[in-house]
Structure 1
């Protein structure tokens, strides 16, 4: 499997930097190859084209994102705690990798419709995680039993997404993770959660 080959990860990590620094449209495959320290042709052993690199990059990073969130959530007993660690983790992962934050918040949105559809497909794993927390909160009577899970999931993801985008647009001048508690409180109130 190509994903387990060391150069695959090298190319993905290089692509994050090159796309963040140059923008997706200006990020030539040759620049990515140079950043990864591989020959241009090597990239085509792993990826069909630049579009494939972008989608694979998102799939890899989002997979890691979901995995890390599942780990931290598993150790918490209430839906409110699960939601808080998910928010903190979301903010922490992106604040620790500013290049990745630029790519996910800005560059992915400028891609064509076909890429966005593939990206939405990848996002489903993350959104499923949010759903699990919401259903758990309803089950344990922490959240309003009439909660509209689909709408609430959009509210949670949309809030986190906008918080990170604003942070990126402000040149990451403030502590994103420090915002977690306030975001959490607003979202818990929106879920009809008990204080």
Structure 2
């Protein structure tokens, strides 16, 4: 029974990503999410209190999975350069493979009210911590000169975030992953990676 409930929960989240990316959060109706998930409209409210909670849980669950995956990938890295490459490659490939989620995270969450932003901050702060941890490891190993962790993280996250937004909004299709090496070169230069 629990497996069936979890499966339905995941279907609703997947449907919400698709519906919100197609219609926009404010225009998206719960019945569209239910239809895409293959459930009755009222079933949504057995899992979520409101459409706002659906959006929050989409971000928490999907981006939480993304960060957990990135942490796992980073365990295999032995150098700061390899860790930075993993961050860029994982960020770009995940967004490219999950375009609807990229649209939701890059466009819809930024227009939301402060309650939604507050609820998703835990995940964003976890990502910030992950990036700062990579920079700190680089400083401790002597691969990166002493630098302000917050500023370095802002540069890395901001660049990844802006590149993803630019990709989502591009008028002509292109790959996001083609930017991995140029972005890595930018970070290596800015951090004066040794």
TM-score range, shorter chain: over 0.9
The 5-angstrom pairing of residues 51-66 of structure 1 reads: 51-66=52-67
Q: Secondary structure, in 3 states, of the residue corresponding to 1:5?
A: helix
> In structure 1, what is the equivalent of residue 122 of structure 2?
121
> In structure 1, what is the equivalent of residue 105 of structure 2?
104
Deviates most, 61-70 or 168-177? 168-177
Aligned length: 193
Q: Secondary structure, in 3 states, of the residue corresponding to 1:181?
A: helix
CA–CA distance in 1 between the matches of 2:122 and 2:29?
25
CA–CA distance in 2 between the matches of 1:173 and 1:141?
40
CA–CA distance in 2 between the matches of 1:172 and 1:64?
29
1:23 counterpart = 2:45:
no
**What's the CA shift string for 1:31-57, capped at 9, x where partnerless?**
100110001111111101000000000
Contact preservation (8 Å) 1:62, 1:126: no
The two structures have a TM-score, normalised by structure 1, of 0.95
Q: Secondary structure, in 3 states, of the residue corresponding to 1:76?
A: coil
> In structure 2, what is the equivalent of residue 188 of structure 1?
188
Q: What RMSD over aligned residues (CA atoms) do the two structures have, in Å?
A: 1.6
The two structures have a TM-score, normalised by structure 2, of 0.95
1:172 positional shift: 6.3
Could you list the runs of 4 or more consecutive aligned residues of structure 1 that deviate by over 4 angstroms after TM superposition?
none
Contact preservation (8 Å) 1:33, 1:43: yes
CA–CA distance in 1 between the matches of 2:171 and 2:62?
21
> In structure 1, what is the equivalent of residue 42 of structure 2?
41
> In structure 2, what is the equivalent of residue 140 of structure 1?
141
> In structure 1, what is the equivalent of residue 167 of structure 2?
167
After superposition, the Cα gap between the structure-2 partners of 1:74 and 1:171, relative to the gap in structure 1 and judged at 3 Å, is: farther
